[in-house]
Structure 1
């Protein structure tokens, strides 16, 4: 063997030993049978009409965790520095289509570096407000999309991901961590148009967990709600739909506020465990400011600010290592916009999870919601449980029995 060939082989092995890397395939499959009362089916001159609905849905619609598969890669660059990436695809198990509006990697798609300084990532990601506050909510632990605030008005159920985002997270220090995210609007001649930024922080030690976060989205109809292929330009309503005689409404709680110039969401939560029982309290405020801007359509000619105050109290108990029961109560109060008197929503979540193994579980969820006042579509407020078509009336009951497997 020639000396230069031997040197090349030895150099190759030395590089392989220095730059160790791994790629992991992972995923979740979650599908279930659902029931919803009063689901909108049509519209007459007097308002929407509805009927009971029995269906099979992937969890991407209304379960604990939407079906997905992903690739997670890490490469050791030496001296504590690592390169990393995540590519995560969401799909609908009941029909095999892409979730997230048709995005191939709609859940997450980013690359970055980590080390003693923390972690920096670039791409399509979760915002840092959600990163810290969501884990203390019912929707982030056991209730999924069904357990979100009405129509996920405070954005804690991952209804939206953030495109073109740069995120930085500090290392954990004695239970404390913080993070920030900035999404570039990318509009020529304007630094702030379509921009989004968020911050978050959390502390956890023993039985106590605390978290807080803030999100600010300029032109939210595009920067926050318009980040998937099935969404449109500013003339489109990317939050929801007013419906038609043959198509149900969607997101009536806040769809009327697509013309907001800025959306600001702030939230904080606390969780405390006593033996196997965990109590949680989360408060959020979602504000749609500057209604009537060119960010989105404004058919009802709203002006001013729509502000939602949301409270959630939850309790869960790990009865046995395999069996969990939980409940949560939500209260949402919106201010009066242009003299409409505002709206209120009350919601009760009930859930139970039984683990058949470390990877497979069955679960049951039940959600009851009642609405009052007038909603963002200018009609008597209708109930609208996360992941389901809205009710034709002011109340709705939703049930789900599902099987979930993780790999």
Structure 2
């Protein structure tokens, strides 16, 4: 009798463990991407390098059912360079994402950590640079990703709330703590966004306000005395497009976009207004390219139209045109940037595809540094002329 009870207890415990295991999950996922990138003018020289179109990454995401429709969730995502095996995002272990939180189908999701902005959640799907025209260096984005639609700047030390979807509408709120003793608002970020989806139509809008953007979001290590990478640039070389505004006391970004799927074609538009406010109010340590502004606001207005067309389930062609105007600030004039992205993707399977993408940018006027504007594809060092051309051919494998 005792043996039967013991056996029954063991079987019951095993059944309970099986149920508990079924209610929890951890998933390993990622992207391995490699391509040959050519840039015709990097400070006057041709450059060939191994790069990516879809930034290589690996991550862990998991959830645990807590009962009552509530789950504990987490995501840890690392970015890496496939050519060298080194870590991206300034060498951070989980520089792409690192957050933990609670999720409820009834009340929404609350997460804490380093994460994408709510505005990016709502609008990145409408930008070619965050989709088919992506490159590991960000070449396909609007004017050095000045509006952060391509997530050049993740938001760290942040709390984010995402509402349940109600009749196609989703709302997101985010606040990032500056972490400065005695200065609660310093280096802080707040962000609000909404998205709507109904059949073939999608729409998104977002507004983000950042105090002391040079320290709060530029680079990869917010709240430090010096950012680990230059604003809008690469290899500690700031983008000429907005690197001169590193002394801004605040930055605000308004984004709005939409798309419509018509059979095999998807047409998308995206608009952004980015303002660098109170120029000259911050001392940008380690940024010798920052121009000595004594006040004022620099404003970027950017618009994009892009189209994707699936000729077959495997073959997709796409194109985009982007125009950006920098109104300038102080005694400096304005600048104009025109960009064209063209791409083709061929799927070998659900997980593996080949791609070829081309980028062209032209510039005119006076840039943020007070010099004659030059082409400066996002993530690249600037051209020695008003034009810059790049192309990448490669392979993406998702797991």
TM-score with structure 2 setting the length: 0.92
Structure 1 residue aligned with 2:246:
258
Q: Residues 177-217 of structure 1, C-alpha deviation per residue, up to 9 Å, x if partnerless?
A: 11111111111112111110111111111111110001111
Counterpart residue number, 2:82: 93
Structure 2 match to 1:332: 324
CA positional deviation for 1:336: 2.7
Match in the other structure for 2:107 = 117
Give the 5 Å matches for 1:245-324: 249-294=237-282, 296-297=284-285, 299-302=290-293, 303-324=295-316
> Number of aligned pairs?
388
SS of 2:358's equivalent in the other structure is strand
Aligned mates of 1:235, 1:127 — CA distance in 2: 19
Of 334-343 and 262-271, deviating more is 334-343
- Check whether the contact 2:90–2:229 (CA below 8 A) recurs between aligned residues: no
When residues 15 and 77 of structure 1 are mapped into structure 2, their CA distance, relative to the original with a 3 A threshold, is farther
Per-residue deviation at 1:141?
2.1
Aligned: 1:129 with 2:129: no
1:52 alignment partner in structure 2: 46
Q: Separation in 2 of the partners of 1:202 and 1:300?
A: 37
CA distance in 2, matches of 1:248, 1:161: 17
Name which of 191, 194, 197 aligns with 1:198. Answer: 191
Check conservation: 2:219, 2:227, Cα contact below 8 A: no
Please name the residue that 1:366 is paired with. Answer: 358
Q: CA deviation at 1:294?
A: 2.3
1:162–1:227: 8 Å Cα contact kept in structure 2? Answer: no
Contact 1:288–1:305 under 8 Å retained in 2: yes
Q: Tell me the equivalent position of 1:70.
A: 59
Shift of the 136–236 alpha-carbon distance from structure 1 to 2, 3 Å rule, reads closer
Q: Does 1:108 align with 2:97?
A: yes
TM-superposition CA deviations, 1:310-332 (whole Å, max 9, x none): 00011110111111101000100
Question: Structure 2 stretches of 5 or more lacking a match?
Answer: none
Whether the aligned pair in 2 keeps the contact of 1:33 and 1:402 (CA below 8 Å) is: yes
Distance 2:246 2:255 in 1: 21
Question: How far did 1:103 drift?
Answer: 0.2
Secondary structure of the structure 2 residue equivalent to 1:367: strand
Distance 1:9 1:216, change over 3 A: farther
Q: Post-superposition shift, 1:34?
A: 1.0
Tell me the secondary structure at the aligned position of residue 122 of structure 2. Answer: helix
For residues 392 and 232 of structure 1, the distance between their equivalents in structure 2, rounded to whole angstroms, comes to 32
Report the counterpart of residue 46 of structure 1 in structure 2. Answer: none
The C-alpha deviation readout for 1:4-29, integer Å capped at 9, x for no partner, is: 99768845753652572111110001
Structure-1 separation of matches of 2:15 and 2:283: 56
